Structure 1
């Protein structure tokens, strides 16, 4: 299924495709906050938006049980475990200031391309025939190519999606 998603910090176009059984691949292209690592700490920059590519393999562990119990499984409504990779490009021109540097007019943090890997637990539920709700949480690990450093961080999100392409199943 194809969808447009809006989260607390991101906007993306996504496509979920079945892999096998209860496994799906959720791929995204969108814009979201940049991040950097300073002194070993992960620092997100919500005003420094950048483009990203993301792919997540999800195992919908409750899908079959929900189906057997007669619960709604439309639009892959299920609880899941996922392994996610996300590549953030450098912030686009005009971006690059986090809240602290925006208000103090400092811009001494350099944001660059980053790679994030995360293991998440989440749940996805349909709200209507074309709307989805997704919430997830898990540990993440980010590599900052500018600083040549890495750090762990909490990966969490709340996302609403509008489905514009549905499979014919």
Structure 2
């Protein structure tokens, strides 16, 4: 029993020990939905948590089961849990690990608010939650610039209209690391 507890403690300490090559990053972002900020926090040598918020398109549901990301302004808040799986391989090949570069598998939850203004009352933006699993890559573009791409699938829930949708997920963003 003592060996099991000891192994479990070693596993937990190893899981949450911070590797020097991963770093905290506060970033300004431009993505497919708008602009925002995020803070990337390493929790171990292979896991990151990325919290963010921004302003951009929202979820429009003018007709049942027809979903569009609208160009009117709404806010979003996100949390993403990333598992970086190829950093050792990148290091062996002499590729850069700068700015937490690597391939990853992730789970992300994003909350969209309703429209900021009531100018278009006939096509309101709805509050929605998007949960998605995706595969992605993050690369340093030199200096403090980053590129991030992901593809996967998501489950979108319209809170106001009580509709759900399973859909593909695609993300593309450019970031600038402030610190």
Q: TM-score range by the shorter chain?
A: 0.7 to 0.9
User: In the alignment, which of 95, 116, 119 is matched to residue 130 of structure 2?
Assistant: 116
**What displacement does 1:80 show?**
0.7
Larger radius of gyration: 2
Segment of structure 1 superposing worse, 29-38 or 50-59? 29-38
User: In the alignment, which of 45, 64, 74 is matched to residue 39 of structure 1?
Assistant: 64
CA distance in 2, matches of 1:129, 1:85: 29
**What displacement does 1:39 show?**
2.2
CA distance in 2, matches of 1:8, 1:86: 14
Kindly report the root-mean-square deviation, in angstroms, between the aligned alpha carbons of the 2 structures.
1.5
**What displacement does 1:95 show?**
6.3
Contact 1:49–1:95, Cα closer than 8 Å, also in 2: no
Contact 1:81–1:121, Cα closer than 8 Å, also in 2: yes
Shift in CA distance, 128/52, structure 1 to aligned 2, threshold 3 Å: same
List structure 1 runs of 4+ shifted beyond 4 angstroms.
Answer: none
CA distance in 2, matches of 1:123, 1:156: 12
Q: Return the structure number with greater helix share.
A: 2
Q: TM-score, normalised by structure 1?
A: 0.85
User: In the alignment, which of 85, 88, 97 is matched to residue 73 of structure 1?
Assistant: 97
**What displacement does 1:31 show?**
1.0
**What displacement does 1:129 show?**
1.6
SS in 1 for 2:148: strand
Q: Which residue of 2 aligns with 1:134?
A: 148
CA distance in 2, matches of 1:95, 1:66: 50
Contact 1:5–1:161, Cα closer than 8 Å, also in 2: yes
Contact 1:59–1:81, Cα closer than 8 Å, also in 2: yes
Q: How many residues align?
A: 154
**What displacement does 1:61 show?**
0.9
- Please give the per-residue CA displacement for 1:25-61, whole angstroms capped at 9, x wherever unaligned: 111110121113432232221x222111101000111
CA distance in 1, matches of 2:119, 2:77: 18
SS in 2 for 1:147: coil
CA distance in 1, matches of 2:175, 2:158: 29
